[in-house]
Structure 1
Amino acid sequence: MSVDRGAGDDDRDLEAELASAAAGNSGIPFDAICTGCRRVRVKRAKPEEVGQHPQIDPAQLEASDCSSFKHVCHHCQKATFWNPLAVLSGLLESDRGDGDE
């Protein structure tokens, strides 16, 4: 099941996190936790980076079915592994431009 909200912190601006260069340039938006510092942030990962078929429908994707992926953690100041907590389907739709008609 994908979700629209981040896992945990209700006062986060998930759209701003997605727009940040720290989230990455392409891929499915995940709420993910750094295995080093345990920070939760929006990160993008391509389906194949999380052990999924490249043509998978992200809206049908479960975070629990995804493997950890490597991404930069600006807090740790290095590339670390991130564990997906949730697929952010609301951000996926807004990223495509859906819903603002």
Structure 2
Amino acid sequence: MSANADRDDRDLEADPASSTSGPVGVPVDAVCVGCGRTRVTRTSLEAMEIDPRVDLSDLDAADCTSFKHVCRSCWAITWRNPIAILTGLLESERGE
């Protein structure tokens, strides 16, 4: 199994721009339970059992549940554990 990359070594701006993060949803830094790799993944608030009307600036990863997503590292549909909601990335995409 691969080890988690240090967050300081990752380019969080480039990661969600890759085709592996998906085109829609909230960008979440999440750990794959299959391979242990941390990647930016886009998912819906509903998939993390969060009310879609929530103010994203008030949302914390600890409030979110695990969600299923395709992992491009281990090539399986696995559970991912959110460790950070990337609200700064959302703001930059919106031009705020």
Under a length normalisation based on structure 2, what TM-score does the superposition of the two structures give? Answer: 0.88
Report the counterpart of residue 27 of structure 1 in structure 2: 25
Greater RCO (Cα-Cα under 8 Å, separation 6 or more): 1
Report the counterpart of residue 88 of structure 1 in structure 2: 86
Report the counterpart of residue 4 of structure 1 in structure 2: none
User: Number of residues paired by the alignment?
Assistant: 92
Instruction: Return the offset for 1:8.
Output: 4.2
Question: RMSD across aligned C-alpha pairs, in angstroms?
Answer: 1.4
Instruction: Return the offset for 1:37.
Output: 0.5
Gaps (5+ residues) in structure 1? 1-6
Write out aligned runs for 1:46-65 (5 A): 46-65=44-63
Instruction: Return the offset for 1:59.
Output: 1.5
Gaps (5+ residues) in structure 2? none
Tell me if structure 2 keeps the 8 A contact 1:28–1:58: no
Percentage identity across paired residues of the two chains? 52
Look up the equivalent residue of 2:68 and give its one-letter code: K
Structure 1 runs of 4+ with >4 Å offset = none
Q: Indicate the larger mover: 32-41 or 9-18.
A: 9-18
